[in-house]
């Protein structure tokens, strides 16, 4: 199986959970960790939760997907403090993570996956 895992960060728990449920339909063997919302169940993200989500993923190389600005900011800070190799993907969270997971499940080369994702790049 692949050396890469996926991290999903959303401002809302049900959004993150729903994306993972959809991905599981095509990528049952890909290591995915996710976080959505704040610790008290509200809308938002926190550095501590994002860092923990990165840490909890069993893979040392991760592709990270996010929905909104503070999720990106918290991911950037968490990436700087992590020993893992985490790449922030500037693509739509649903389409990008689904595509990456399906290709990881199919054992596609990481360069090919990044090439496919680059066609989805957003100016976030």
Q: Catalytic amino acids?
A: 11
Residues 6+ apart with CB under 8 A from 63: 4, 5, 6, 7, 86, 87, 89, 97, 100, 113
Contact between 1 and 28 under an 8 Å Cβ cutoff? The reply is: no
What are the backbone dihedrals phi and psi of residue 72, each rounded to the nearest 5 degrees, phi first? -65, -45
Helix (H, G, I), strand (E, B) or coil at 57: coil
């Amino acid at each position: 199986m692949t050396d890469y895992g996926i991290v999903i960060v959303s401002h809302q728990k049900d959004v993150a959970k729903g994306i993972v449920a959809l991905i599981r339909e095509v990528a049952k063997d890909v290591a995915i960790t996710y976080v959505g919302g704040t610790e008290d169940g509200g809308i938002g993200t926190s550095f501590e939760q994002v860092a923990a989500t990165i840490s909890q993923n069993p893979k040392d190389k991760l592709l990270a997907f996010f929905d909104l600005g503070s999720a990106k900011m918290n991911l950037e800070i968490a990436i700087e403090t992590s020993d893992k190799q985490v790449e922030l993907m500037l693509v739509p969270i649903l389409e990008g993570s689904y595509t990456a997971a399906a290709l990881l499940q199919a054992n596609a080369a990481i360069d090919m996956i990044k090439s496919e994702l680059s066609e989805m790049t957003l100016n976030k």
